Amino acid sequence: MVIIDGKALAQKVKERVKQRMAKISIRPGLGMILLGDHPASKIYVFSKERACIDMGFYVKTVILPTSISQEKLFVEIKKLKRNSKIHGILVQLPLPPGFDGEKVIEAIGYKKDVDCIHPFNIGQSISLGKVDLENLLVSCTVKGVVRLIESTKQSIAGKKAVVVGRSNLVGKPMAMLLLAKNATVTICHSKTQDLKKETKQADILVVAVGQPNLITADMVKKGAIVIDVGINRVRKRIVGDVDFKKVKKVAGYITPVPGGVGPMTIACLLENTLLLAKRKEG
């Protein structure tokens, strides 16, 4: 069993971003909005902000109370869109109850949608041909996951891949990118009748549902690549969607939480922001 080091791989992506940044004439800029104080969301937003500062990006973080109206949220999004220093915008998910996620994404628009969850950008992922990750605008988490899988040196082509979760942020684009990499893909979700039967067949298992320790050792094929996208706070600890201690005894490769997908998501966010800045530069 090999524990995949997301921090080390993320550092390599950041180094390439820094090299490419030196070749453009403008400073990449990222605008972020955080609603409320969801623990995992706060961790991610502040980690993203710190990474941008370390990279020399322009970054503006707007923290709003959950009591704000959706209309006032749209006003804040418009301010970021009008800011010429900002090339990419994200509103940290999940949104608090009462907010219409689809309308929020529409308000961001596809041109500055750094996480690529606008319908236009998701649509582009369906028609992927040859996948060039360094120049591909697709969900930051999804790019990170594919890089983690590729770091094992195991071929994706021809493998049975199972994605647990069907969100627009991870599940759906994850399936499309793995399909573009010539895997045979199954998406599982809350209505899947026999989840264990599906996951047990997976050569590559990607789990992104936000349910602590959902995947247990008896649900994993021996030698499988297991990528845990989940981030959950349980009794002041951060844990994933996979029972890491037990599953690592079965898996061939596995990502830890924290230290796996999280650092790669942030590194790929920097890369996507750079790509949007390059697009603005023309």
> Could you give the CA distance from residue 174 to residue 21 in angstroms, rounded to a whole number?
27
Q: Which residues contact 136 (CB under 8 A, 6 or more apart)?
A: 128, 143
User: Is residue 17 domain-resident?
Assistant: no
Q: Catalytic residue at 115?
A: yes
Instruction: Say yes or no: 161 and 73 in one domain.
Output: no
User: Is residue 129 domain-resident?
Assistant: no
User: Is residue 127 domain-resident?
Assistant: no
Instruction: Say yes or no: 254 and 173 in one domain.
Output: yes
CATH number at residue 98: 3.40.50.10860
Instruction: Say yes or no: 48 and 143 in one domain.
Output: no
Contact 244, 228 (CB under 8 A): yes
Domain count, the chain: 2
Helix (H) or strand (E) holding 185: strand 184-188
Mean pLDDT in runs of 10 for the chain (282 residues)? 97 96 95 88 89 97 95 97 97 90 94 93 76 88 97 98 94 93 96 97 97 97 98 88 98 97 96 95 74
Instruction: Say yes or no: 65 and 144 in one domain.
Output: no
Q: Which of 48, 159, 172, 248 is catalytic?
A: 48
Q: Which of 115, 203, 228, 241 is catalytic?
A: 115
Query: What is the span of the domain harbouring residue 50?
Result: 26-113
Q: Catalytic residue at 92?
A: yes
Check residue 41 and give its pLDDT.
82
**DSSP class per residue in 186-216:** EEE-TT-S-HHHHHTT-SEEEE-S--TT-B-
Report pLDDT digits (tens) over 200-243.
999 999 999 999 999 999 999 999 999 999 988 888 888 999 99
Instruction: Say yes or no: 82 and 143 in one domain.
Output: no
Instruction: Say yes or no: 82 and 160 in one domain.
Output: no
Q: Edge-to-edge strands of the sheet including 2-3?
A: 2-3, 253-254, 225-228, 204-207, 160-164, 184-188
Q: DSSP code of 173?
A: H
* Alpha-carbon separation of residue 146 from 91, 107, 142, 167, 276 (angstroms): 23, 29, 6, 17, 20
User: Is residue 30 domain-resident?
Assistant: yes
Instruction: Say yes or no: 32 and 71 in one domain.
Output: yes
Q: Which of 14, 92, 113, 203 is catalytic?
A: 92
121 burial level (CB within 10 Å; 0-12, 13-18, 19+):
buried
User: Is residue 19 domain-resident?
Assistant: no
Q: DSSP code of 97?
A: T
Instruction: Say yes or no: 73 and 173 in one domain.
Output: no
User: Is residue 3 domain-resident?
Assistant: no
Contact 145, 174 (CB under 8 A): yes
Instruction: Say yes or no: 109 and 161 in one domain.
Output: no
